[in-house]
Amino acid sequence: MEIIRIPKVMQDTVGGLLIRGRTIGFVPTMGALHEGHLSLVRRSREENEKTVVSIFVNPLQFGPSEDFARYPRDIEGDVEKLEAERVDILFMPEASLMYPVGFSTRVEVGTISETMCGACRPGHFAGVATVVAKLFHIVKPTRAYFGQKDFQQAVVIRRMVKDLNMDVEIVVCPTVREKDGLAMSSRNMYLSGEQRPAAAVLFRSLKGTAESLASGIIQIGEVRHVLRQKILSEPAVSSVDYAGAYDPETLEELAEPKGEILLACAVWIGSTRLIDNILINIKKER
Ligand code: PAF
């Protein structure tokens, strides 16, 4: 696996691959890699001739009181995992090369960035869209891979790609879960021994609410309350940022049922913020 740290070198390297007609799959990450990331890498390897992974803990997407400084970092472990998956190129730039002195551009993606996580983390999605736009210009991928766990992020990126005519296919892959249903996330590492089993409450509550909705026990207007109550029944939960039923395209909270429904939540367990979601068809969940 080739490790590249300089954006211009990365651009020249992919430029050479593209001239030779190679397809490039790209998995952008912030490192501390787990099976969720590796599932994206495997999908990229299946669908493309070359796979590029980036590791960059993007300061722009963290608020001033958020966990940028303590975000888990494990470069040695990550390199080992990516070598084992036979990734072609790891792009690992320094922040000073991504955001040199004077950097002042932001990519803002409108109202879909302002609901759900965007309402609780102002500026977060502008930070994500800006770095992903930069990474797309540097890596020039044919396809880019994101996890459904970060559903809103995927919607924001799809919108940006469409609005800015970026020539890249966005592929969203299923959430990878632990045995008890907890969605894999680098932030799960923050959970203490007692908090870890409690964190399964997110998925359990989403599933339970979906079942009540599908069987007609509750109506769409009751989802917010029911889901929140289910989550708060776990004593380790300190607070719920949001919980509800949303339109998977506009991300507006739903007052009336429609074909596909996104059930989503963001929950604090101690000082750890976790998110999860499921897409349901009332009859068919996934
Ligand atoms: O999902 C993530 O890990 C990050 O938000 C991303 C897409 C790599 C941008 O920093």
Ligand 1 centre to CA of 76 (Å) is 19
Atom 8 in ligand 1: residue holding the nearest Cα: 29
Residue closest by Cα to atom 3 of ligand 1: 29
Question: For 9, left (φ over 0), alpha (ψ -120 to 50), or beta?
Answer: alpha
Predicted local confidence at residue 286, as pLDDT: 53
Q: Which residue's entry shows tokens 């923050």? A: 190
Instruction: Please tell me the predicted confidence (pLDDT) of residue 187.
Output: 97
pLDDT of amino acid 60? 98
Please, is 205 exposed, middle or buried when counting C-beta atoms within 10 Å of its C-beta (0-12, 13-18, 19+)? buried
Please indicate whether residue 137 is annotated as part of the active site.
no
The residue among 88, 89, 97 whose CA lies nearest residue 58 is 97
Cα 261 to ligand 1 centre (Å): 24
Mutational test site, ligand 1, from 61, 121, 128, 145, max ligand atoms within 8 Å of CB: 128
Q: What is the pLDDT of residue 258?
A: 84
Structure confidence at residue 213 (pLDDT): 96
Rounded distance between C-alpha atoms, residue 56 and residue 29, angstroms: 7
Q: What domains does the chain contain, in order, with CATH numbers?
A: 2-173 (3.40.50.620), 186-277 (3.30.1300.10)
Neighbours of 190 (CB within 10 A): 19
Question: Which two three-digit tokens encode residue 212?
Answer: 């009540």
Could you say which residues of the chain have pLDDT below 70?
283-286
28 lines ligand 1 (CB under 6 A): yes
Residue in 34, 37, 124, 225 annotated catalytic? 37
